[in-house]
Amino acid sequence: MLTISALKEELTSPKHILITTHFNPDGDALGSSLGLYLWLQSKGHQVTVVVPSEFPDFLSWMPAQEHILVYPKDPQTADSLIAKADFLFCLDFNHLSRINAMENAVRNAPGKKIMIDHHLAPEGFEDLAHWDSHAAATAQLVYDFIVNRMDDRQHISPEIAACLYTGIMTDTGSFRFRSTTAEVHLIVADLITLGAPNSKIHEKVYNSATEVRLRFLGYCLLNCLVVVPEYNTAYFLIRKEDVNRFDIMPGDTEGLVNYALSISGMRLAALFIDRSELIKISLRSIDEIPANEICSKYFNGGGHLNAAGGSSTASMEEVERSFRSILPLYKDYLIE
Ligand SMILES: [Mn+2]
């Protein structure tokens, strides 16, 4: 076990520190990791961020991203850093299966593990948890960790503020989701005060489409969208031939599901995409509609109440059929 005060004491002298985050890192995974990285580095520690897989292009402008080690590119170096770390910060995940090939190395590492996260149902691998499932983003918890636990707001540089701002902005859908409390706005205001270039960050993250990605969006809206008005549900079915035709990368469907939810009156939205071995599923909902329960019960996944994901090895036709057969079970939620 490790306490916050013991950790604070330990961090007064230089340490070897490893930071990692989940597979397919998103804005919060990277923003929280790089924000913490820059802060720990400013305190004189030897720090490395190791990610289990590549991150998307729309985050390639982030401060210090050039120092990130992508695990599959150099597993030997990464394994030795994991083994010699005094502290391993695990950000934006709470099950070690979320770091894929790094799982065993991190699980067996002798260093103390600190989990900072906002997802439900932690596995409990850590020595210290800074965990709150009501937090809007892990970046919010990193802000709280630095400011309130380590009492070090004064060392939040404009670059650190930019990283944390990006994490909160992306995980709240630009401060729209229900998780966006008054406290979140106060934190974000403080990050702007500390130098986060907010409008620049919005522009970099959201005006980053490629031509092919925008044409793919148009194609999906025209050809792949199915609306089920009686259940206030809309979904996209993206088949293998659509993926091939546009040479779609994993990050290219990011946010697509939200277009289905943007139709007036829709309460549940889904995206089904054929990724060869698997159909990948993203769900978005509003109010109390439990997207995470639907994903964990029927599609081998999970997530947050209003944003969840899963997968299936069945055919697209079967996945669509089972999704449509689930809708009547949730009719009290779906029909107001
Ligand atoms: Mn997050």
What is the whole-number distance in angstroms between the Cα of residue 70 and the centre of ligand 1? Answer: 19
Angle at 89 between CA 85 and CA 90, to 5 degrees: 125
Query: 61 CA distance to ligand 1 centroid (A)?
Result: 19
For 206-258, write each residue's pLDDT tens digit.
998 888 889 999 999 999 999 999 999 999 999 999 989 988 877 778 889 99
Dihedral of alpha carbons 175, 182, 332, 326, sign: positive
Say what the pLDDT of residue 256 is: 94
Scanning the structure block, which residue is given the tokens 């720090």?
47
Ligand 1 centroid, distance to 140 Cα (angstroms)? 9
* Interatomic CA distance for residues 134 and 183, integer angstroms: 11
Q: What is the whole-number distance in angstroms between the Cα of residue 135 and the centre of ligand 1?
A: 9
DSSP state of 19: E
Quote the ligand 1 centre to 92 CA distance (angstroms). Answer: 5
**Residue-level pLDDT at 32:** 98
User: What is the number of other CB atoms lying within 10 angstroms of the CB of residue 24?
Assistant: 17
Angle of helix 158-171 relative to helix 182-193, nearest 10 degrees, comes to 150
Q: Collapsing DSSP states into helix, strand and coil, what is residue 44?
A: coil
pLDDT of 312: 97
289: left (phi over 0), alpha (psi -120 to 50) or beta: beta
Place of tokens 């983003």: 137
pLDDT under 50 in the chain at which residues?
none
**Which residue type occupies 147?**
V
> Rounded to the nearest whole angstrom, what is the distance from the C-alpha of residue 29 to the centroid of ligand 1?
6
pLDDT of residue 115: 98
Ligand 1 centroid–CA 207 distance in Å is 21
Res 8: pLDDT: 98
Element (H, E) at 278: strand 278-285
Q: Which domains does the chain have, with CATH numbers?
A: 4-206 (3.90.1640.10), 211-334 (3.10.310.30)
**33 CA to centre of ligand 1 in angstroms:** 11
Structure tokens that stand for 249 in this block: 């990368």
pLDDT for res 277: 87
Strands 225-228, 69-70: pairing kind: unpaired
Nearest CA to 331 out of 232, 259, 250 is that of 232
Q: Could you tell me if 221 and 258 are in contact, meaning their C-beta atoms sit under 8 angstroms apart? A: no
185 CA → ligand 1 middle, Å: 17
Contacts of range 69-76, beta carbons closer than 8 Å, 24 or more positions apart: 71/101, 71/102, 72/101, 75/101
